[in-house]
Structure 1
């Protein structure tokens, strides 16, 4: 039986839902959303069909990154409560099938995005897949506590790719969108790492909580939250900002900084099931924070297009 036939048989046997899970749908939804904002916030109008196709292929590229990440991290995933039911650890998809699937989608997404938009957008997508699968997953994640800081760039590229698909260029505004996600990522994931500390320790992943301790992690969350708040205000006074964004940023930054300060000041003497409730609340807040700010950028763009 040929490799191609074997892989196709594997797909049918494992079932489509298992392969869809390899794409990390929740992460993909965030990628689609931020890339969409990048497209519509750009100063160049894009036809509906081109916009839809560009976003589809950006999403497929994000899914390819997820599949390659799960292939490489299958041993770690099997040891963590949060990830042990992923398709490879639970035996629904073989590592080889996941690798072939991820590589095939990578090539497809980059080539197709080039065909429907431009070489810059396709190049940025290719670099994003490489960065997430190789730089972050294979090099940074298991070697340095800066894994989330540097690796966060992978999640910050989608709005830049969307902007490039629309304009064929990288503007200062798209770099600001990149910065917004880049500085959002560490406090978001460090909050998760605080209450998933035992999982990362067991899996041997050198998260900041494991290598430097919880106290240092708490202070870093506050530091990055301050930088994030400053960047968000900068976006508000840029060409893609406006009064709606600034109002949202002020309210959200107050909540963000209050939450980060509460985490920074908290000791480790709490006990019981709600020991890390402060961190869980902050983690959820960061999700609302990013979604709301990007939604505000989209709304500002819609108002500007309508001529109000």
Structure 2
């Protein structure tokens, strides 16, 4: 994990020198908050939203509540570890971006060494936790997810290709597999359909954000699609992936033997997600402000509602 670029090392020195004085003024409460922020709690919440409903689907009803707690706790630590590694490795560019300028490694609430130790600790503890309280397959999938987000996305893809979020986003798909295997101890087709659904959903979720913060990413030479392509081309890609996401969500109906609640939700909420994607594209094509954050927030609401319906559907007789 120490293999950062020369620029990162230089920036790390700059960050360290400017933040040493600030660290002296930080209270214990601020430091604790800083470590908490390292885990990207909002991202973690979104990942866990996809874990619990899949456990209901796998159990065909209400799963063992202790198992749900154990899986959620292990998954939270795993996701927090990946996020913390990400902030450690990206600290050289975070200092230059408005969106990330208040992160704890930039403000000095947490030292780089502290962040690295914290990241490894969460990774080890989450793996052992899942191994003890769930099963070896769930623990293995957790390790793969951390590796994918930290190494494949953050270290290899993010600064090299505009396709970074497509393949790097695979890391965010693993919670559905972990939730399923925690209940069943094996894998099956329904969690793989949901895995692909999240894979397809990630680009139309993140690309609008890259449009909103285009100048931030451009300033630090991170080739997000919002930087490398005109707004209408990004909008078109968002439409294509949104349609593919909704089509994939409907595959779960026959594969997972879903009922009317999930089917109706996939159609209604999927139609709304597609509408918002087309709205983004049409506004960009006309040269007006495309309001990309509207699609960004809509994508979060869409995914949340879809997975809520995944949880509710097995509880009903129709």
Q: TM-score, normalised by structure 2?
A: 0.87
- 8 Å CA contact 1:11–1:19 kept in 2: the answer is no
Query: How far 1:190 sits from its partner (Å)?
Result: 0.6
Counterparts in 2 of 1:87 and 1:26: CA distance versus 1, 3 Å: same
3-state DSSP of counterpart to 2:252 = helix
- For residues 1-308 of structure 1, the aligned pairs below 5 Å read 12=28, 15-43=31-59, 46-239=63-256, 241-267=258-284, 270=287, 275-277=289-291, 279-303=292-316
Query: Helix, strand or coil for the counterpart of 2:98?
Result: coil
Partner of 1:3: none
Assess if the C-alpha contact under 8 Å between 2:203 and 2:238 holds in 1: yes
- In 2, are the aligned partners of 1:113 and 1:122 still within 8 Å (CA)? yes
- Of residues 171-180 and 254-263 in structure 1, the stretch that sits farther from structure 2 once superposed is 254-263
Secondary structure of 2:106's counterpart equals: coil
User: 1:161-200: per-residue Cα shift (whole Å, max 9, x none)?
Assistant: 1101111111100001111111110001111111211111
Calculate the TM-score normalised by the size of structure 1: 0.89
| Conserved 8 A contact 1:41-1:240 | no
- Indicate the structure with greater helix content: 2
Equivalent pairs, count: 293
RMSD: 2.0
Q: Is the 8 A contact 1:240 1:301 kept in 2?
A: no
Distance 2:202 2:284 in 1: 23
Q: Give, in angstroms, the shift of residue 13 of structure 1.
A: 8.2
CA shift for structure 1 position 11: 10
Mark the runs of 5 or more structure 1 residues left unpaired by the alignment: 1-8
Does structure 1 retain, via aligned residues, the 8 Å contact 2:231–2:284?
no
Deviation track 1:245-281 (CA, whole Å, cap 9, x = no partner) reads: 111111112212222222223336656xxx342x222
Q: Secondary structure at the match of 1:237?
A: helix
Residues 105-140 of structure 1, C-alpha deviation per residue, up to 9 Å, x if partnerless? 101101110111111100000000111111111111
Partners of 1:100 and 1:11 in 2: CA distance:
20
2: CA distance between counterparts of 1:94 and 1:175?
A: 39
Q: Which runs of 5+ in 2 are unaligned?
A: 1-23
